Amino acid sequence: MGFDHFALAYDRRGDAETGSLLVHNYPDAWASVFIGFDLSANDPIRRAGERSLTGFQWCDVDQFIPLSRGDRQLLMVARENGIGDGFTVPRHLPGEATGSCTFVVNPKGSVPTDMLHSAEILGAVALARARQLVGTLPYRKRAVLTKRQRECVLWSARGKTAGETAGILGISTETVVRHLKIARDRYAVHSGQLLILCALFDGLIGFSDIYDWWRPHERAP
């Protein structure tokens, strides 16, 4: 397709029994640096992939996430080790897995834009196959919250205190505190942050339930 290198990565999360797959033909110099220093945790391309529904070119990554000085330095080091621009097809399943199929050109090369549709399809097929190879976790019955418990978790995720939530729902503060404690117990977690994270991963509340409510709407002049 006109690319020089590829990398297929898939990591299954969400349980003690994790699984991963990595296949690539990156230059040895970059593979040694990336794997040896465990740079995946700081990889801006990985973070951008969690915010994109489709494949994207690396030159456009700052349209998905803010790039820090360290991010730019990592991309520069990659270039110094034989990795130029790239095109990444991401897959992100919150609470289950994250993966990507990436096609890369050498530092002096140009991404073949006329082949990006083909790369998108190939990447999607490769990631689906990677998921089959790594396997999916067996379904586990999740903690079930009552409607009122879910509402308390939702307003907590929106930044409201127990007292503020009580006023919104028309119940006592003690009742809100009790609902949140029961919810934490059902998830076997000890903090409100982890409770919110579990509720998001299980789909009991959605990211849009929080962000769309919090985001200030532009007012008409």
Considering the domain boundaries, does residue 16 fall inside one?
A: yes
CATH number of the domain encompassing residue 16: 3.30.450.80
- Rounded to an integer, the average pLDDT of 107-120 is 96
Of residues 187, 162, 157, the one with CA closest to residue 175: 162
Q: Among the three residues 83, 99, 134, which one is the final residue of a domain in this structure?
A: 134
Residue 163's domain comprises 147-214
105 and 10 Cβ atoms separated by less than 8 Å: no
pLDDT tens-place string over residues 134-177: 987 666 667 889 999 999 999 999 999 999 999 999 999 999 99
- 184 occurs within a structural domain: yes
Q: 63 near 72, Cβ under 8 Å?
A: no
Residues 35 and 85 in one domain: yes
Q: Which of 104, 134, 164 is the endpoint of a domain?
A: 134
Q: Are residues 56 and 99 in the same domain?
A: yes
Stretch 51-60: mean pLDDT: 95
Note whether residue 104 is domain-resident.
yes
Q: What predicted TM-score, i.e. pTM, was given to this entire model?
A: 0.76
In a domain, 158, yes or no: yes
Please give the helix or strand (H or E) that residue 9 lies within, else none: strand 5-12
Alpha helices in 41-191 (DSSP H): 44-49, 69-80, 116-134, 147-157, 162-169, 173-187
pLDDT at 16: 52
**Residue where one domain finishes, among candidates 109, 134, 159:** 134
Element (DSSP H or E) covering residue 201:
helix 192-202
Same domain assignment for residues 102 and 162: no
Contact 6, 24 (CB under 8 A): yes
94 shares a domain with 189: no
Euclidean distance between CA atoms 203 and 115, whole angstroms: 36
**Do 123 and 155 belong to one domain?**
no
Whether residue 22 is found in the same domain as residue 108: yes
Q: Is residue 221 part of a domain?
A: no
Residue 164 and residue 61 share a domain: no
pLDDT of residue 216: 62
Residues 90, 29: one domain?
yes
Tell me the C-alpha distance between 108 and 82, whole Å. 9
- Edge-to-edge, what's the strand order for the sheet holding 5-12? 19-24, 5-12, 97-104, 86-93, 56-57
Establish how many alpha carbons lie within 13 A of residue 65's alpha carbon, considering only the half-sphere containing its beta carbon. 19
pLDDT of residue 218: 46
| Cα–Cα distance for residue pair 170/154, rounded to 1 Å | 15
Give the total number of structural domains in the chain: 2
